[in-house]
Amino acid sequence: MQENYEENKAVGDAAAERLLATNGTLYEVGSTIEVLYAASGVSVDHAFGHYGIPIAYTFEMRGNGDYGRFGFVLPPQFIIPNGEEIVEALIGLVHKAREFNYVPVSN
C-alpha cells in the first residue's frame, strides 16, 4: 500500500461523492485489489512506481448496477449520463487534490 493511501482515498471519496450527486450512481473507492481484482502492471502502478506521481486512479465506467448487467458494452442511453458523472467526479477529484497540494492553483 502506498504511503499516502489515506490522502488518495480522501481524494477518491470526494470524486465519488460528486459523482453520486450527479445521477445517483454509487462508485466504490479503494485500491484495485480491494475494489476490483488482483492486478499488477496497471497504469496506476506505472504512475506511482515509474513516474512517482503521488495520486492516480482507475475509473471503471458503468457496466453493472441497478440499471442492468452490461459488462463492458454500455448501452447508448447510459453513455452521456456516465460521461456527465465522470466529469463531475474529476472536478471533485481536482478540488480535493488541491487541499493536499497535489494540484497547483493557477491564477
Residues recognised as catalytic: 60
**Cell matching residue 46:** 506505472
3-state SS assignment for residue 69 = strand
* 92-to-68, 71, 84, 87 alpha-carbon distances in Å: 26, 26, 13, 9
Helix 5-23, helix 76-99: angle, nearest 10: 140
